[in-house]
Structure 1
Amino acid sequence: MLCEIDREDDDRAFGLCDFGQDFPELGYVSLAELEGLRGRWGLPIERNLHFVPDKPLSGYTREARLAGRIVA
């Protein structure tokens, strides 16, 4: 769940990430790295154009840490 892209480095974004290790965390991530990731069935990750947040990022972070994964 990315919320901003670095203005000085357009490959660097900030948000809530979980790379399948059951340890969701806030931090910076490389967009090029994300493009290379594959999920279940070998599919790439996608941007959800219809996602409408119903709480601040801190709320999603708290829920993700409790669940051990991002729940959105």
Structure 2
Amino acid sequence: MILLTPDLRAALRANAEAHRAAQAENLREPDPHPVVKFFNPAGAATWLATELDADGDTLFGLADLGFGCPELGAFSLAELASVRLPFGLGIERDLSFQTPFRLSVWSAWSRRAGSILLAESLLNRAVADPEIPTADPGGG
């Protein structure tokens, strides 16, 4: 599977450039929507990426290796592509992933839920019920 299409690369690079520009001008850093979701089809590991560095390999976003503590940080596209799983599987891209939520919302909900996958379920429920607040899962 091709993990990043040219369109996804362009969107990730645009987010990275916007982030760099905001830092250079001492402006508030952007809070983009995740562009792409990668997952382990044989386990719980999940990654949401918002940026791609100029090196074409270093992604930034939310990483969840399935240990109950999702965290923001950098990860390598080449490393994701090199993972070999049982039955000839590898890391895959969620072809239908789209989200109305920004990375900060995903991060807060994932940390509170203990996983990106559980947060995704809760956020999908929140989309269906506008009475559920999504900005602050802690309620304060």
* TM-score interval for Structure 1 and Structure 2 normalised by the shorter chain: 0.7 to 0.9
Aligned match for 1:16, one of 62, 83, 96:
62
Structure scoring higher RCO (CA < 8 A, sep ≥ 6) equals: 1
Q: Mark the CA change 1:42 to 1:62 in structure 2 (over 3 Å): closer, same or farther.
A: farther
Structure 1 unaligned residues grouped into runs of 5+: none
CA displacement at 1:41 relative to structure 2:
7.0
* Pair member with larger Rg: 2
Could you give the per-residue CA deviations for residues 39-66 of structure 1, whole angstroms, max 9, x where no partner exists? Answer: 6877322112321112111001011000
Offset, 1:38: 5.5
> Compared with structure 1, are the counterparts of its residues 39 and 58 closer, same or farther at alpha carbon in structure 2 (3 Å cutoff)?
farther
Q: 2:110 maps to what in 1?
A: 64
Within the candidate set 10, 19, 35, 2:81 is matched to 35
Task: Give the whole-Å Cα distance in 2 for the aligned partners of 1:38 and 1:68.
Answer: 25
CA distance in 2, matches of 1:53, 1:25: 18
Distance 1:66 1:41, change over 3 A: farther
Task: Give the Cα separation in 1 of the matches to 2:114 and 2:66.
Answer: 10
Q: Which residue of 2 aligns with 1:53?
A: 99
How far, CA to CA, are the matches of 2:49 and 2:77 in structure 1? Answer: 10
| Aligned-pair Cα RMSD in Å | 2.0
**What's the counterpart of residue 72 of structure 2?**
26
Q: How many residues align?
A: 71
Query: Relative to structure 1, is the Cα distance of residues 38 and 28 closer, same or farther in structure 2, using a 3 angstrom cutoff?
Result: same
Structure 2 unaligned segments of length 5 or more: list them: 1-47, 121-140
Question: Whose helix fraction is larger, Structure 1's or Structure 2's?
Answer: 2
Deviation at 1:2, TM superposition (A): 0.6
